[in-house]
Amino acid sequence: MRIDILTIFPEIFTPLDVSIIKRAKEKGIIRIKIWNLRDFSKDRHKKVDDKVYGGGKGMVLKCQPIFDAIDKIKSENKDAKVILTSPTGQLFDQQFAKKLSQEKGLILICGHYEGVDERVKKICDYEISIGDYILTGGELPAMVIVDCVVRLLKGVLPEDVPVYDSFYNYLFDWPCYTRPKNFKGMKVPEILLSGNHKAIENWRKKIAIKYTKEKRPDLYEKYIKQGGEDDIEKS
């Protein structure tokens, strides 16, 4: 998969050069290209924003640099879906990440200031929000989306790892422990030391359902609707 990111702050994306994403790049599974929106400005001072029509505070990213940039990026990544990070977008979750991981390519437009000119949305396939709170710009949401999607691509992680992550099937992950077995009187559950893999699997599933039901009943309801077991004692 190829992922292109359009931003006015290209230097912010150093986290995409470490850990799992770095290894995915080295394996040739993904290619990430960062584009500076200012390179597409026709203003002699490389301005990419302007005042809001109708009055009001703040500045808005202009159409021209974004449209020209998307045309250029599409010439190299023609099958990519265009995504705008926006507070008015669809809330991003694990199921959305799964959907995006099936695409051939992604182009992320990082909003900033008061946002982007409304006409930019005409060339976007998706608008995505990562939560109901305000951030300085769309760069952090873009990195969240990239990280979440990349780990789902085939070959990035061992085949069964994403299946056991929290939220994959609307359930939280189960609690994990490591050495020592007893730390300040807090002991590892005996079942995890039993060597009985079937019993351990059942215990983990039961706890995952229990935690999700108690802490996120909204996710638990989605889990049930997709055919999950609703009787914890039988899980």
**Is residue 175 annotated as a catalytic residue, yes or no?**
no
The active-site residue out of 4, 49, 139, 151 is 151
Contacts of 176 (CB under 8 A, 6+ apart): none
Of 48, 55, 69, 32, the closest CA to residue 112 belongs to 48
Contact in structure between 137 and 9 (CB atoms under 8 Å): yes
**Is residue 15 annotated as a catalytic residue, yes or no?**
no
The active-site residue out of 39, 68, 127, 165 is 165
The active-site residue out of 39, 93, 114, 221 is 114
Order of strands across the sheet that contains 31-36:
31-36, 2-7, 105-110, 81-91, 126-129
Q: How many Å apart are CA 132 and CA 91, to the nearest integer?
A: 9
**Is residue 114 annotated as a catalytic residue, yes or no?**
yes
Contact in structure between 80 and 91 (CB atoms under 8 Å): no
The active-site residue out of 2, 10, 23, 87 is 87
Of 139, 134, 208, 130, the closest CA to residue 172 belongs to 208
**Is residue 87 annotated as a catalytic residue, yes or no?**
yes
Report the catalytic residues: 87, 114, 151, 165
